[in-house]
Structure 1
Amino acid sequence: MTEATALPEDRPFGRAVLNGWRKCCPNCGSGPLLRGYLKVRETCPVCGEELFHQRADDGPAYMTILIVGHLLAPALLISYNLWHPDPWLMSAVLSVACVALSLFLLPRMKGVMVAIQWAKRMHGFGRAPANGMPKEVPVDQ
């Protein structure tokens, strides 16, 4: 869809996914998305976007396994054919690489999955806030 034909309620998919990769709020891009290592915040502390609707479940883990496997399987084959390392050394190095890469990718994949759900208005992300007020209007307390 072009800018001229885009509906006003369209959400920017690419920007949201990039914000999710950075572990930031898919709406504003400046608030932290995660509380801790993998726990998604209830709301964004900066813009107030409700994030509790997310249903990432096992998706980030599957995506992490897919990426790590596709990166390390060729590395295993190439390193064994080029250098013929000792199997114990190769298993130790690739085990550390697998764990490190998995720990790096898992929260980022969680952010991407939440951002995709937000951009596509899945699982309640498209509904109005519970109080019925727009997010830009502060509620007096």
Structure 2
Amino acid sequence: MSEPNPLLSGLAGRCPNCGEGFLFDGFLKVAPACEVCGYDFAKADSGDGPAVFIILIAGFGVGFAALITEFTIHPPIWVHLILWLPLTLIVSLGLMRPLKGVMLAAQFMNRAAEARHDD
């Protein structure tokens, strides 16, 4: 059997080492270790990286859609609030877990935990 792609495994919320175990123990809480291969996730820290990408992706997508809607249809402000606030929340929450998984998998691929000296 071939090695799994760590980025695709992280995107799916799976262990970047084996591709089978769960990466998360809840919505965003990282599991202490993989239950299949035993890989330790204790040093995994995605920091603010996923939040930055979510802000950029959701902000561009929803902002662009809101501007197009404003310039073509000219709806009242309450229509913008009803459309774009829930969409922003849905897009942000929908991207949060996959992007955090990708960031953790990128750390695994680049062996970032081995470079840390703060233990």
Q: Which runs of 4+ in 1 moved over 3 A?
A: none
Aligned mates of 2:57, 2:42 — CA distance in 1: 27
* 1:124, distance to aligned residue in structure 2 (A): 2.5
Report matched runs for 1:98-137 at 5 Å: 98-124=88-114
Aligned mates of 1:31, 1:70 — CA distance in 2: 34
RMSD: 1.6
Report matched runs for 1:10-21 at 5 Å: 15-21=5-11
Q: Percent identity?
A: 37
Report matched runs for 1:74-85 at 5 Å: 74-85=64-75
Which residue identity is paired with 1:111? G
Give the TM-score taking structure 2 as reference length. 0.87
* 1:51, distance to aligned residue in structure 2 (A): 1.2
Corresponding residue for residue 65 of structure 1:
55
Q: How many residues are paired up? A: 113
Q: Which runs of 5+ in 2 are unaligned?
A: none
Aligned mates of 1:67, 1:120 — CA distance in 2: 24
Aligned mates of 1:91, 1:46 — CA distance in 2: 45
* 1:73, distance to aligned residue in structure 2 (A): 1.3
More helix by share: 2
Q: Which runs of 5+ in 1 are unaligned?
A: 1-10, 126-141
* 1:112, distance to aligned residue in structure 2 (A): 0.7
Aligned mates of 1:75, 1:69 — CA distance in 2: 10
Q: Does 1:33 align with 2:33?
A: no
Higher Cα Rg, which structure? 1
Aligned mates of 2:61, 2:6 — CA distance in 1: 25
Aligned mates of 1:26, 1:46 — CA distance in 2: 12
Corresponding residue for residue 3 of structure 1:
none
Corresponding residue for residue 42 of structure 1:
32
